[in-house]
Amino acid sequence: MSGSDAASGGTAVRAPSVRVVEAVADAEGVDPTDLETPLYEAIDGAALDRLFAPTADSARHRGSLSFVDFLLPSL
């Protein structure tokens, strides 16, 4: 998983994989580093980042993810 942020118009944009970790940790009420299952054991974070990456002719794609116990907000 890439934890790096991309600058966009002076505003840092967190990678979707980072936002997923933060959302799950928030729902669990724990620090992201204290999650029981690391993201890389559940999904391919790099693939997730590529899925929502901007393309040459459009802005970054938006979407949402759901897990058994969670519905994560739009990425």
The domain ranges of the chain are 6-51
pTM of the model: 0.65
Task: State the pLDDT at residue 36.
Answer: 86
CB 5 within 8 A of CB 14: yes
Of 55, 66, 57, 49, give the one whose Cα is nearest residue 13. 49
pLDDT in tens, 21-41: 998 899 889 999 998 888 888
Token pair 């790096």: residue: 4
